């Protein structure tokens, strides 16, 4: 059985880790480098760093933030936000990132996925997807610019296309459950995970150890959380021990 990963996420705005509910009402949650180092020490399998306003502000990811975080880590490190070209990939990888997450730019220019996969390898390319349930209809719609712009694009179809283009992983965030602590969107996670053959990271809504287990049960290869860990409501160790007791393979 493949080892399941527990991944804390650093949503960074103006040089600080922040966390909100359904992408709104952001609150300060600490210094990125200090927070990342603490998660490494706690036994996180990876860390994801998202510069959450870079795309909406039409600017590049702040390389100094990436450099500071990378210097504290000994585990894989994914960076996303404001990445538009393969040159951006190269610059961020040089600062110490192991993987690059693309969202808005990939939606606007899908060949960015295939170009990056060809240059750096699929293992380096994470397609981040922000999805929201359609009102009064079946399925989910994909959004860009940190959940600000509805792309009128089906989430499952986009996941399938992303895999065909060379994505090595999908980071799937439910806008409906993000920050609510009511559990991951299991219906969405299952729909995406069952449609692709690459790992799917479930994101948005963790509130208990059981929520992590439930997401893995419906097909997630990894589970990502932010506020639960930032505010020390749960530790990574507690989550892993809970999963291990239920015969889920984790790295302790």
Kind and range of the H or E run holding 33: helix 32-42
Kind and range of the H or E run holding 122: none
Q: Which of 11, 68, 178, 214 is catalytic?
A: 11
Find, among 119, 228, 243, the residue nearest to 178 by Cα: 228
For the chain, list the strands marked E by DSSP: 5-13, 16-21, 24-30, 47-51, 77-80, 99-102, 125-133, 140-144, 149-154, 169-174, 200-203, 222-225
Task: Name the burial class of residue 137, with classes exposed (0-12), middle (13-18) and buried (19+) by CB atoms within 10 angstroms of its CB.
Answer: exposed
Find, among 2, 20, 17, the residue nearest to 180 by Cα: 20
Please tell me the distance from the alpha carbon of residue 44 to that of residue 69, in angstroms, as a whole number.
Answer: 14
Find, among 251, 204, 232, 252, the residue nearest to 38 by Cα: 232
Active site residue 11: yes
Both tokens of 126, joined, read 């994470």
Please tell me the distance from the alpha carbon of residue 26 to that of residue 17, in angstroms, as a whole number.
Answer: 10
Q: Which of 40, 130, 211, 214 is catalytic?
A: 130
Active site residue 154: no
Residues with a known catalytic role: 11, 130
């Amino acid at each position: 059985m493949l080892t399941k990963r527990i991944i804390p996420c650093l949503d960074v705005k103006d040089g600080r880790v922040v966390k909100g509910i359904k992408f709104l009402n952001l609150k300060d949650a600490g210094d990125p480098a200090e927070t990342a180092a603490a998660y490494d020490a706690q036994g996180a399998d990876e860390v994801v760093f998202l510069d959450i306003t870079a795309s909406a502000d039409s600017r590049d990811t702040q390389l100094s933030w990436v450099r500071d975080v990378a210097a504290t880590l000994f585990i894989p490190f994914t960076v996303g936000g404001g990445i538009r070209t393969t040159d951006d990939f190269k610059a961020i990888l040089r600062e110490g990132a192991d993987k690059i997450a693309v969202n808005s730019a990939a939606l606007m220019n899908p060949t960015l996925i295939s170009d990056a996969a060809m240059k750096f390898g699929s293992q380096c390319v994470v397609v981040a997807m922000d999805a929201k349930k359609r009102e009064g209809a079946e399925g989910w719609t994909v959004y860009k610019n940190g959940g600000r712009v509805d792309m009128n694009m089906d989430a499952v179809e986009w996941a399938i296309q992303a895999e065909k283009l060379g994505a090595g992983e999908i980071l799937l965030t439910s806008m409906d459950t993000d920050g609510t602590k009511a559990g991951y969107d299991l219906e969405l996670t299952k729909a995406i995970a069952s449609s692709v053959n690459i790992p799917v990271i479930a994101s948005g809504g963790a509130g208990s150890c059981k929520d992590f287990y439930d997401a893995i049960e419906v097909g997630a290869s990894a589970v990502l959380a932010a506020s639960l860990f930032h505010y020390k409501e749960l530790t990574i160790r507690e989550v892993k021990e809970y999963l291990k007791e239920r015969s889920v393979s984790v790295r302790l």
